[in-house]
Amino acid sequence: MKFTKMHGLGNDFVIVNLLEEKLTNLGQLAREICDRHFGVGADGLVLVLPAEKDEADFRMRIFNPDGSEPEMCGNAIRCFAKYLYERKLTDKTKVKVETLAGIIIPELIIEAGQVEVVKVDMGQPRLKSQEIPMAGVEQKQVVKQPLEVAGQEYEITAVSMGNPHCVIFVDQVDDFPVSEVGPLIEKHSLFPVKTNVEFIEVVNSDELKMRVWERGAGVTLACGTGACASTVAAILNQLTDREVMVHLLGGDLLIEWAEDNNHVYMTGPAEEVFVGEWKE
């Protein structure tokens, strides 16, 4: 099986073209290939597939290192779009990609014949509790709702970008025990399909610092949907303007929540690292 290793701000993926390859037992393959000691090492296995819907150009599936399949991944879809364009699988600079979160549209920004960055129309955030989803919460926006975990109370804001996010604002994100608190909230009974957890420090009205505990992956260097959800949460809490630079461990993402169409736009890099062959 041929594969390509790519990353978006250190959030890294093994990409396999299923237009050419045939695979089974995808969850098990993800667990093996994402292992950083016995496999290639990655935050996810990303699969290129033909679209099933007429309005889409391609379909993307992604599997976490624990074998679970999330609805979407913002950093992965930037890598996915660059992979398609540079492999000449498409000549479009705007690609309609079918995901479990719906059709997402990455736009390739080309400079001097090279993909400089990728701007992704992430669609509208989903803000009602049942859309997140959350259990036992009436159908409403969840902003500054108290949540007790291991004897500590946190204020949470919940956002779905097609996948669930729980955003918590903290004073000093660098010192926050992400690895301890993150998994407790990820698996909290309030979130029936688990959740991604973002810990956010507001730098000013234009900047956020973010650390993330990703559902099914743990601590990662970056999370695109998490950066989008965190920006939406910051705006709902009246902490920032509508265009924000989000500083992650692996680098920066520019996020805008547009007023005219309510869509969230994410702009950031995607890099190819190497290609290889996987032998079972």
Catalytic residues: 73, 223
- Identify how many contiguous H helices and E strands the chain contains and give both numbers: 4, 17
- Among 50, 62, 51, 53, CA closest to 21: 50
Provide DSSP, 51-99. Answer: -SSTT-SEEEEEE-TTS---S--HHHHHHHHHHHHHTTS---SB--EEE
- Alpha-carbon distance of 273 to 5, in angstroms, equals 5
Lookup: tokens for 233:
């949460």
Estimate the share of the chain in helix, then strand, then coil, as percent rounded to the nearest 5. 20, 40, 40
Coil, helix or strand for 31?
helix
Whether a cis peptide bond, with omega within 30° of 0, leads into 192 is: no
Contact assessment for residue 264 and residue 256, using Cβ atoms and an 8 Å cutoff: yes
Lookup: tokens for 168:
């918590």
- Alpha-carbon distance of 83 to 261, in angstroms, equals 28
Contact assessment for residue 140 and residue 194, using Cβ atoms and an 8 Å cutoff: no
